[in-house]
Amino acid sequence: MLQEAESAFRTITVKAQPSGFGAEIAGLDLTRPLSKDQLSEVKAAWARHAVVAFPDQPLSLEQLEAFTLQIGAFGHDPFIKPMPGHPNVLELRREPDEKATNFGAGWHSDWSFQQAPPAATLLHSEVVPPVGGDTLFCDCAAAYEALSPTMQRMLAPLQAVHSATRAYGVKGVFARETEARTLQIITSPEADKSLIHPLVRTHPVTGRKALFISPVYTTGVEGLTPQESQAILGFLFAHMTQDEFIYRHKWRPKMLLMWDNRCTMHFAEGGYDGHLRLMHRTTVAGETPV
Catalytic residue among 166, 266, 277, 280: 266
Q: Would residue 239 show up in a list of annotated catalytic residues for this protein?
A: no
Strand partners, 196: 161
Type of residue numbered 64: L
Reported as half-sphere exposure (CB side, CA atoms, 13 A), residue 284 has a value of 20
Catalytic residue among 48, 49, 94, 108: 108
Q: Which residues of 84-97 are buried (b: 16+ CB within 10 A; e: fewer)?
A: eeeebbbbbbbeee
Give the CA-trace dihedral at 254, 249, 109, 139, to 10 degrees: 140
Separation CA 188–CA 179 (nearest Å): 19
Separation CA 184–CA 286 (nearest Å): 25
Q: Would residue 110 show up in a list of annotated catalytic residues for this protein?
A: yes
Catalytic residue among 48, 94, 110, 203: 110
Active site residues: 108, 110, 266, 281
